[in-house]
Homo-oligomer: A and B are copies of this chain.
Amino acid sequence: MSENTHQAIILISCADQSGIISMVTNFISSHGGNIMDLDEHVDYNDQVFFMRVAWELSGFTIPDHQIEGVFQSEIADRYAMDWSLHFTSYTPRMAIFVSKFSHCLYDILGRYQSGDWRVKIPVIISNHEKLKEVANRFDIPFRYFPITPENKGEQELKQLAVLQELNVDFVVLARYMQILTTNLIQAYPNQIINIHHSFLPAFPGARPYHSAHARGVKIIGASSHYVTEELDAGPIIDQDVVHISHKDDIPQLIRKGKDLEKIVLSRAVFNHLERKVLVYQNRTIIFD
């Protein structure tokens, strides 16, 4: 977590070439920036370069609003970079979608409320009314959109309108039991984080704990990933597992899995918030 200093973060991907790191670090240090964190990765098979660098802006000689233009012309153009700039002074706005399970929601709200995350949650959206009471407990606006096969497309467009009206930057599906359609997914590319209750690619789709029990696996897992149009097939951000045994029936798998789900989802949200995630060819680079 970048404490209380005002920092800039740049995420870069581009074709691997000699001297990129030195160009970027020279850019920062020559303008008076103090690098706080730097991580890079080269995919030597595909010859692609990835980098995340964070620096303190207190003595930086380029004003915040000009950094994007200067970096583009001085550095990014030269290396044909795909890049993004973020400021830790900006607080991202996150919407949470839920259905009936509360464990992920409580986990997120506890972190939010205690100030562990630099985020603003302007809305909780649900297709059920059950968790309204939790939203109320944490004083967060709750919007109820009942979904039927008939009204699904229409309701999702309304949800999208809410997100846009509230300037939501990204969405967390905290055990939201609806499959999103193209409308929402294309509006938030690599900005919708889902938690799936299995170690993907095993057991995609519905009722993975039942499938895990039927298959007799000795581990169960949870996977957080960005949502893409193919179900449960988007870039994986984090995964974890727990050992189980023949003694664990389905209710126990569900109980043990809940602890995985909430931790794996919250770790993904944290890394997303900290701008530590880059997506490349349906895979993620996590600079943690």
A binding-site residues for B, Cβ under 8 Å? 1, 3, 18-19, 21-23, 25-26, 29, 34-38, 40-45, 102-103, 106-107, 109-111, 113-114, 116, 134, 137-138, 199-203, 215-219, 221, 223, 235-241, 243, 245-247, 249, 251, 255, 258-259, 263, 266-267, 282-286, 288
Query: Is B251's CB under 8 angstroms from A239's CB?
Result: no
The answer for the CA separation of A34 and B259 in the assembled complex, in Å, is: 31
Considering residues A1, A26, A43, A235, which has the most beta carbons from chain B within 10 angstroms of its beta carbon? A26
A201 touches B200 (CB 8 A): no
10 A–B contacts from the bound complex (CB under 8 Å)? A3-B251, A21-B25, A103-B110, A103-B116, A199-B199, A202-B202, A216-B235, A217-B239, A219-B241, A243-B243
Q: Which residues of B contact A200 (CB under 8 A)?
A: 202, 215, 217
Residues of chain B within 8 A of A35, CB atoms compared: 18, 42
Given contacts A106-B114, A199-B199, A255-B1, contact A246 B283 (CB under 8 A): yes
CA distance A203 to B201 in the complex (A): 8
A29 to B23, CA, bound (A): 13
The reply to whether A282 and B219 form a contact with Cβ atoms under 8 Å apart is: no
Please pick, from B23, B44, B239, the residue contacting A36 in the complex, using a CB distance under 8 A: B44
Are B41's CB and A285's CB within 8 A?
A: no
Of the candidates B19, B137, B259, which one forms a contact with A29 in the assembled complex, judged by CB atoms under 8 Å apart? B19
Compute how far the CA of A138 lies from the CA of B107 in the bound complex, rounded to whole angstroms: 14
Among all A-B residue pairs, the 5 with the closest Cβ atoms: A22-B22, A216-B283, A106-B110, A18-B29, A202-B202
Chain B CB within 10 Å, residue with most, of A110, A235, A255: A110
Residues of B within 8 A of A3 (CB): 251
Q: Give bound CA distance, A266 to B22, whole Å.
A: 35
Residues of B within 8 A of A19 (CB): 22, 25-26, 29
Within the assembled complex, what's the spacing in Å between the Cα atoms of A95 and B263? 25
Q: By the criterion CB–CB under 8 Å, are B44 and A249 in contact?
A: yes
CA distance A36 to B35 in the complex (A): 24
CB-based contact A219/B240 at 8 Å: yes
| Complex Cα spacing A274 to B198, Å | 26
A239/B221 contact (C-beta < 8 A), A41-B246, A137-B137 known: no
Residues of B within 8 A of A114 (CB): 102-103, 106
Question: Who on chain B is nearest to A252 by CB?
Answer: B1
Known: A1-B255, A103-B110. A215 touches B236 (CB 8 A): yes
In the bound complex, residues from chain B placing their C-beta under 8 Å from that of A43 are 249
**A255 CB contacts on chain B under 8 angstroms:** 1, 116
**CB < 8 Å neighbour of A199 from B45, B137, B202:** B202
Bound Cα distance A203, B216 (Å): 16
